[in-house]
C-alpha cells in the first residue's frame, strides 16, 4: 500500500491534497511520503528479523537529508559510494559503524576520510584498490575492515545499464580471482578481512538470479575456510525490484521470494548479513508533480508538453524506464483517453517521460503526477538547458515541509567565474 490515492476527486499524498500543495509549491517538484518510506523500510527489516541482518540503505537512490533522517531514526545503516554520500549519511545521524563504502574507484582522499570515521567496511572491487587501502591505512596507523565484492558472472535479467554482476561489467572481482585476492588481503598490513560482498544489478525481478549469485559466494566462503580465511559477514548488495507497471509483480511478492532465497541459504551461513536496498525503500514513496504547458497535436501523434523534463527525471531517457502518470484531479470514470507522448521543454528529442501512453485527455494548466519517482530521480537531476534543480517536498501525515528548495537563477549563474583577463 502506497500513500497516493484519490480522495474527493483529487490525488492525495498521505492526508494532503496535491492540488493544495501546487498552490504553495511551484511545479515541477518532487513530493515524498514519509510513511511510505517508513513502511518500505519496515517491510524489508521484517522480512529478515529472524536473521542477524543489518540494513544499509543505498544512499544513491535518494540522499536527501530528510529522507536519511527518517531512515536513521528507523535504525538503518547506509551503503555509500562517495565521500559526499558518506558525509550525508553521517550528517543525518547514521553511525559510522553501520556504514559500508562501495564503488569501483574510491579516491585517496575518500579512503582517508572513511578511515578517519572508522566505518564498518570497505567493499573492495580490485586488487589494486586493496593495496591502496592497505597503504593508506598503514600510513595513518589504521586498520581497514574490508569485504571483497565478488562478480559472480550471473545475468540478473535486468536492463543492460543497471546490470552489474556479469563478467563484462566493470564491477567487482572476477569469481575466479577471488581466492588469490583474499590471500593477498590476508597478507597485507593495513587490512582486516571482514566479509564477502555482491551486488548484481538493480530492479531485479528474476529473483532466481540472487539464488545463483549467493550459491557462488557460499562455495567461495567454504573454499576460503579451507585456507583459514574466515568471513564474518556476507553482504547481499541491493537490487530488489519494485512495481512500476500494472503488469509487474507486487513488491510484497518480490520481497517474499527474495526472503525465501535468503532463508534457504541462511542455514549454511554462520555469519552476519548485510543488505543494501535502495530503490525498494524509496522508489514508490515519491511523485514528480508537473503541470501541462501545451498539448500539441502533430500529424502522427499528440505531444503533452509538461514543465518537468529529462534533466529533472532522466530514467525514461537513460533506462527506458516506465513511470505511471496520473492526473492530479481524478478523471471521470468514463473520461476519454488518447495516446500521447509526454515530453519536456528540453531541446533534445530524447527528452520524454512517456511514449505512446494512454492518458485521459488533458489541457494546458492541468497538473499531473509522475509515479515511482522517489528513487534515482532527484539524485540524478541536473541543470541542462540552465534549468534550475527542482524542489523536494516531504509529506508526513498532514504536515509538509520543503526539504530542498529550488535554487535561484542567481545561485545557478553565480557558480561560474569569469577570468579577469577576458
Ligand atoms: C546501487 C547500489 C545499491 C542499491 O541498488 P538498488 O537497486 O537501488 O537496491 C546497492 N549496493 C550497491 C553497491 C549499489 O551500487
Per-residue 3-state assignment (H helix, E strand, C coil) for the chain: CCCCCEECCEEEECCEEHHHHHHHCCCCEEEEEHHHHHHHHHHHHHHCCCCCEEEEEEHHHCCCHHHHHHHHHHCCEEEECCHHHHHHHHHCCCCHHHEEECCCCCCHHHHHHHHHHCCCEEEECCHHHHHHHHHHHHHCCCCEEEEEEEECCCCCCCCHHHECCCCCCCCCEEHHHHHHHHHHHHHCCCEEEEEEECCCECCECCCHHHHHHHHHHHHHHHHHHHCCCCCCEEECCCCECCCCCCCCCCHHHHHHHHHHHHHHHHCCCCCEEEECCCHHHHHHHEEEEEEEEEEEECCCCEEEEECCCCCCCCHHHHHCCCCCEEECECCCCCCCEEEEEEECCCCCCCCEEEEEEEEECCCCCCEEEECCCCCCCHHHCCCHHHCCCCEEEEEECCEEEEEECCCCHHHHHHCCCCCCCC
Q: Report the separation in Å between the CA atom of 64 and the middle of ligand 1, taken as the mean of its atom positions.
A: 16
Q: Report the separation in Å between the CA atom of 48 and the middle of ligand 1, taken as the mean of its atom positions.
A: 18
Is 419 within the bounds of a domain? no
Let me know whether 146 and 123 are in one domain. yes
Q: Take atom 10 of ligand 1 and give the residue whose Cα is closest.
A: 238
Is 189 within the bounds of a domain? yes
Of the three residues 282, 317, 338, the one that is the final residue of a domain is 282
Q: Take atom 3 of ligand 1 and give the residue whose Cα is closest.
A: 238
Is 223 within the bounds of a domain? yes
Pocket of ligand 1 (CB under 6 A): 58, 60-61, 79, 81, 102, 199, 202, 237-240, 276-280
Residue 123 Cα: closest atom of ligand 1: 13
Contact 379, 63 (CB under 8 A): yes
Let me know whether 27 and 52 are in one domain. no
Let me know whether 158 and 14 are in one domain. no
Q: Report the separation in Å between the CA atom of 412 and the middle of ligand 1, taken as the mean of its atom positions.
A: 30
Q: Which domain holds residue 197?
A: 34-282
Contact residues for 384 (Cβ-Cβ < 8 A; gap 6+)? 310, 311, 346
Q: What is the CATH number of the domain that holds 8?
A: 2.40.37.10
Residue 239 Cα: closest atom of ligand 1: 7
**Length of the chain, please?**
422
For ligand 1, mutation pick of 82, 238, 242, 319 (most atoms within 8 Å of CB): 238
pLDDT of residue 206: 94
Q: Report the separation in Å between the CA atom of 138 and the middle of ligand 1, taken as the mean of its atom positions.
A: 29
Let me know whether 164 and 65 are in one domain. yes
Let me know whether 65 and 154 are in one domain. yes
pLDDT of residue 79: 98
pLDDT of residue 2: 62
Catalytic residue, candidates 31, 56, 271, 347: 347
Q: Report the separation in Å between the CA atom of 139 and the middle of ligand 1, taken as the mean of its atom positions.
A: 31
Contact 271, 234 (CB under 8 A): yes
pLDDT of residue 224: 97
Let me know whether 27 and 64 are in one domain. no
Supply 292's cell numbers: 501541462
Supply 246's cell numbers: 500494472
Question: How far is it, in rounded angstroms, from Cα 78 to Cα 59?
Answer: 7
pLDDT of residue 321: 97
Question: How far is it, in rounded angstroms, from Cα 49 to Cα 47?
Answer: 6
Question: How far is it, in rounded angstroms, from Cα 53 to Cα 394?
Answer: 29
Let me know whether 297 and 400 are in one domain. yes
pLDDT of residue 166: 86
| Tally of domains in the chain | 2
Distances (CA, A) of 39 to 16, 72, 299, 321, 396: 18, 14, 46, 24, 12
Is 106 within the bounds of a domain? yes
For ligand 1, mutation pick of 58, 152, 172 (most atoms within 8 Å of CB): 58
In tens digits, what is the pLDDT along the chain, a chain of 422 residues?
Answer: 568 999 999 999 999 999 999 999 999 999 999 999 999 999 999 999 999 999 999 999 999 999 999 999 999 999 999 999 999 999 999 999 999 999 999 999 999 999 999 999 999 999 999 999 999 999 999 999 999 999 999 988 888 888 888 888 899 999 999 999 999 999 999 999 999 999 999 999 999 999 999 999 999 999 999 999 999 999 999 999 999 999 999 999 999 999 999 999 998 888 999 999 999 999 999 999 999 999 999 999 999 999 999 999 999 999 999 999 999 999 999 999 999 999 999 999 999 999 999 999 999 999 999 999 999 999 999 999 999 999 999 999 999 999 999 999 999 999 999 999 99
Is 204 within the bounds of a domain? yes
pLDDT of residue 337: 96
Q: Report the separation in Å between the CA atom of 126 and the middle of ligand 1, taken as the mean of its atom positions.
A: 18
Distances (CA, A) of 17 to 369, 393, 394: 12, 13, 13
Let me know whether 275 and 300 are in one domain. no
Is 406 within the bounds of a domain? yes
Let me know whether 297 and 247 are in one domain. no
Let me know whether 257 and 148 are in one domain. yes
Query: Is the dihedral angle over the CA atoms 345, 350, 356, 359 positive or is it negative?
Result: negative
In the annotation, is 271 catalytic? no
Is 214 within the bounds of a domain? yes
Question: How far is it, in rounded angstroms, from Cα 370 to Cα 376?
Answer: 13
Q: Report the separation in Å between the CA atom of 392 and the middle of ligand 1, taken as the mean of its atom positions.
A: 22
Q: What is the CATH number of the domain that holds 100?
A: 3.20.20.10
Let me know whether 184 and 66 are in one domain. yes
Of the three residues 249, 264, 282, the one that is the final residue of a domain is 282
Is 422 within the bounds of a domain? no
Let me know whether 215 and 331 are in one domain. no
Of the three residues 228, 255, 282, the one that is the final residue of a domain is 282
Amino acid at each position: 500500500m502506497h500513500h497516493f490515492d484519490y480522495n474527493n476527486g483529487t490525488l492525495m499524498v498521505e492526508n494532503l491534497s496535491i492540488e493544495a500543495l501546487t498552490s504553495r509549491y511551484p511545479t515541477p517538484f518532487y513530493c515524498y511520503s514519509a510513511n511510505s518510506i517508513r513502511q518500505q523500510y519496515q517491510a524489508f527489516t521484517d522480512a529478515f528479523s529472524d536473521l542477524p541482518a543489518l540494513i544499509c540503505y543505498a544512499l544513491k537512490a535518494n540522499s536527501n537529508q530528510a529522507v536519511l533522517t527518517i531512515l536513521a531514526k528507523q535504525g538503518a545503516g547506509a551503503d555509500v559510494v562517495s565521500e559526499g554520500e558518506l558525509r550525508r549519511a553521517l550528517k543525518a545521524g547514521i553511525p559510522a559503524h553501520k556504514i559500508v563504502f562501495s564503488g569501483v574507484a574510491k579516491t585517496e582522499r575518500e579512503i582517508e576520510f572513511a578511515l578517519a570515521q572508522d566505518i564498518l567496511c570497505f567493499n573492495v572491487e580490485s586488487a589494486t584498490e586493496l593495496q591502496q587501502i592497505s597503504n593508506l591505512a598503514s600510513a595513518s596507523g589504521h586498520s581497514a575492515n574490508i569485504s571483497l565484492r565478488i562478480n559472480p558472472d550471473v545475468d540478473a535479467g535486468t536492463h543492460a545499464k543497471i546490470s552489474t554482476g556479469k563478467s563484462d561489467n566493470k564491477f567487482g572481482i572476477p569469481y575466479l580471482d577471488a581466492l588469490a585476492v583474499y590471500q593477498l588481503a590476508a597478507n597485507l598490513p593495513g587490512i582486516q578481512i571482514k566479509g564477502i560482498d555482491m551486488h548484481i544489478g538493480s530492479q531485479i525481478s528474476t529473483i532466481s538470479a540472487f539464488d545463483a549469485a549467493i550459491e557462488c559466494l557460499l562455495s567461495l566462503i567454504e573454499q576460503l575456510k579451507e585456507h583459514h580465511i574466515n568471513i564474518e559477514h556476507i553482504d547481499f548488495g541491493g537490487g530488489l525490484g519494485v512495481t512500476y507497471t500494472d503488469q509487474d509483480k507486487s513488491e510484497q511478492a518480490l520481497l517474499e521470494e527474495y526472503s525465501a532465497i535468503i532463508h534457504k541459504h541462511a542455514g549454511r551461513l554462520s555469519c552476519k548479513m548485510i543488505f543494501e536496498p535502495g530503490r525498494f525503500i524509496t522508489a514508490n514513496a515519491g511523485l514528480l508533480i508537473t503541470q501541462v504547458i501545451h498539448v500539441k497535436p502533430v500529424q502522427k501523434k499528440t505531444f503533452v508538453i509538461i514543465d518537468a523534463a529529462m534533466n529533472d527525471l532522466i530514467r525514461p531517457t537513460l533506462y527506458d524506464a516506465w513511470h505511471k502518470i496520473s492526473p492530479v484531479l481524478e478523471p471521470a470514470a468514463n473520461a476519454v483517453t488518447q495516446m500521447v507522448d509526454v515530453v519536456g521543454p528540453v531541446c533534445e528529442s530524447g527528452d520524454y517521460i512517456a511514449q505512446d501512453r494512454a492518458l485521459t485527455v488533458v489541457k494546458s494548466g492541468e497538473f499531473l503526477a509522475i509515479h515511482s519517482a522517489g528513487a534515482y530521480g532527484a539524485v540524478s537531476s541536473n541543470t541542462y538547458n540552465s534549468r534550475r534543480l527542482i524542489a523536494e517536498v516531504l509529506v508526513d501525515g498532514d504536515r509538509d515541509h520543503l526539504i530542498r528548495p529550488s535554487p535561484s537563477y542567481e545561485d545557478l549563474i553565480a557558480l561560474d567565474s569569469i577570468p579577469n583577463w577576458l
